[in-house]
Amino acid sequence: MEVAAAQFAEAHAILGGRFIVDAARDFAHQHRLDLPDVPVADAVAAFVEDRVKAGASKRYLQDLRTRLVHGFAAANVVNLGDLTADRLRQWLDNAGGGPRHHNNNLAAVRTLVRFCIGRRWLPKDADLLEGVTKRKADAGPIEIWTPKELAAPQQHDAHGLPGGGTGRGSDLARECPATFLRVVSARRRSGCCSRGP
């Protein structure tokens, strides 16, 4: 009994006189004790499957897979309850790319968070993107790829990506087309890759 009284007195002092029950409620709310433990990868897979059933376009589904499966879930091997605004902000910052890339990643994650709230995997008031804003994208040039370039990535140089029909470039073109196009576009701008005929 003395131990319990001492712990109560210490907790009461730490809380600055607030009621311990209120502190317990705040803790449970912040740490989502009433929600299931859903791994981020499972939530992403369920979200993509939901979009498939909803009839989303192939292009949109590929974009989600690239951004969320290969990007977000791969970098966040945790449960949804372990995600924080700081963790999401760090992932967005580390994802690289320009403003458009950042804004597209932000939109994909925002849609995923809404989906998880709807499934009751995250609390209704979850604000995991608090303070994360869109970046201003300049109206710079947008590269146009010819159908021949899109269909034949092996036509580019054999020095790294993409390369000669086999190897890293072709694998990347098959597994992650969006990343492949970003890499080749950057190389094309720098003069490393020819644009083809």
Q: Are residues 152 and 83 in the same domain?
A: no
Please check whether residues 87 and 69 belong to one and the same domain.
Answer: yes
In a domain, 53, yes or no: yes
pLDDT at 34 over 60: yes
Report yes or no on 174 lying in a domain.
yes
Q: Provide the pLDDT for residue 194.
A: 47
pLDDT at 123: 87
Helix-, strand-, coil-residue percentages of the chain, each rounded to 5: 60, 0, 40
pLDDT band at 8 (very low <50, low <70, confident <90, very high): confident
Q: Is the same domain home to 10 and 47?
A: no
Three-state secondary structure readout of 85-114: HHHHHHHHHHCCCCHHHHHHHHHHHHHHHH
Instruction: State phi, psi for 63 to the nearest 5 degrees.
Output: -65, -45
Q: Kindly state whether residue 88 falls inside one of the protein's structural domains.
A: yes
Out of 88-97, 125-134, 140-149, give the one with best mean pLDDT.
Answer: 88-97
Other Cβ atoms less than 10 A from the Cβ of 116: the count is: 23
Q: What is the DSSP letter of 79?
A: B
DSSP 4: H
Q: With bands split at pLDDT 50, 70 and 90, how would you rate the model's confidence at 159?
A: very low
pLDDT given at position 44: 96
Model confidence over 57-107: pLDDT tens digits?
Answer: 999 999 999 999 999 999 999 999 889 889 999 999 998 888 989 999 999
Q: Tell me which of 15 and 10 has the higher pLDDT.
A: 10
17 phi and psi, to 5 degrees?
Answer: 90, -5
In terms of domains, do 113 and 47 share one?
A: yes
Q: Residue 164 — very low, low, confident or very high, per pLDDT cuts 50/70/90? A: very low
**pLDDT given at position 55:** 96
Contacts made by residues 70-73, CB under 8 angstroms, sequence distance 24+: 70/176, 70/179, 71/95, 71/105, 72/40, 72/44, 72/105, 72/108, 72/109, 72/112, 73/40, 73/41, 73/44
Q: Are residues 13 and 44 in the same domain?
A: no
CATH of the domain at 58: 1.10.150
- Same domain, yes or no: 62 and 109: yes
CA angle 188, 189, 195 (to 5 degrees): 35
Six-digit token pair at 91?
């992932």
pLDDT higher at 109 or 154: 109
Which residues form the domain of 24?
A: 1-30
**The total number of structural domains that make up the chain:** 3
Token pair belonging to 29:
């709310």
pLDDT greater at residue 164 or residue 139: 139
Can you tell me the mean pLDDT for 35-63? 94
